[in-house]
Structure 1
Amino acid sequence: MTTPTDPQAIAERQLCGLVNGLAQRIAEHVRERAATLGLTASQATALREMSGPMTMRDLAERMSCEPSNTTFVVDKLEKQRLIERHPHPTDRRAKHLVLTPEGTALRGRLLELLHTDSPLSGLTPEEQHVLHGLLERAVTSG
């Protein structure tokens, strides 16, 4: 099998490489910032995504992982007293995940650290907005 030499195929391959490189830089950035707070990258991702009460399934979706993996992460955050499980207001089978005051404070510090020297900070807000729209379209169009 030969490698496609069509200019469009080459451009697409290069673009995939760039997106992968950016994802790796973002993951490394999260790992480094999480470590300064005594968190794993998965714990930091969970805290970052906890913008309000949500179910385990909602958090798993935001973290792009399986609910069973999210359960492990939430168990650790609960032991650290950063997250609590509360009864869901309308679904007896589900639990609402809620940040504790300590979790809210740590999330605030984490968000500040993640914003500092972010791999995306070299882009203007307008460029970030355009990139967001393009990536969203690419993710949802297939």
Structure 2
Amino acid sequence: MSRTPAPHASPETTDPKGGDPAHADLLERLSRAAAGYYRDLTASAAEQGLTMTQAKVLILLRQPLPMRALAGLLACDASNITGLVDRLEAQGLVSRHPNPTDRRVKNVVATDKGIEAVRLVRAGMRSTSAAFDRLDDEGRRDLYELLGRLHPDDTA
């Protein structure tokens, strides 16, 4: 009886005997988690009369940000930010202020109403909250630390 040698494990697949997850497996899990988060964010934002992108902008505005930096964080062209900020400003959720070190640059700042909108959007994210509730304190600390290690250079 001849034996066929087992194929070498690819970095794209998980060891079927329960070994460490491969990059493809991690990407799949991250993708599913992100999709669930964005479904939840979209639904909660809609309850507040916002689009998912508008909610993302407000969430990113924990501190004043130049419009160009905001475009970079959203991975979109700076020209798209102007219209987005215009609509948020018309709703009283953000305001624009000259940058103190370069008056040519406009910083976008969340207003009190914008900060309250973020609080309401987050409170309405029931599926994501339920997922976090399934973790104990140590699990939440571990997840927080691991997520911070994924993209350590992202400051927003």
1:26-41 to structure 2, matched below 5 A, reads 26-41=37-52
Partners of 2:113 and 2:148 lie apart in 1 by 33
Letter in 2 for 1:130: D
Q: Pick the structure with more helix per residue.
A: 1
Question: What is the aligned counterpart of 2:149 among 134, 137, 142?
Answer: 137
Question: What is the aligned counterpart of 2:139 among 122, 127, 131?
Answer: 127
Partners of 1:104 and 1:127 lie apart in 2 by 28
Maintained 8 Å contact 1:88/1:96: yes
Cα deviation for residue 110 of structure 1 reads 1.9
Mark the runs of 5 or more structure 2 residues left unpaired by the alignment: 1-6, 15-21
Deviation above 4 Å: which 4+ runs of structure 1?
none
Larger Rg: 2
Mark the runs of 5 or more structure 1 residues left unpaired by the alignment: none
1:14-53 to structure 2, matched below 5 A, reads 14-53=25-64
TM-score (norm 1): 0.79
Maintained 8 Å contact 2:94/2:114: yes
Deviation digits for residues 62-100 of structure 1, max 9, x if unmatched? 434443333332121012121111111111221111222
Tell me the percent identity.
32
- 2:71 matches 1:68: no
Question: What is the aligned counterpart of 1:54 among 61, 65, 71?
Answer: 65
Partners of 2:147 and 2:92 lie apart in 1 by 35
Cα deviation for residue 102 of structure 1 reads 2.1
Q: How many residues align?
A: 137
Q: Cα RMSD (Å) of the superposition?
A: 2.5
Distance 1:10 1:125, change over 3 A: same
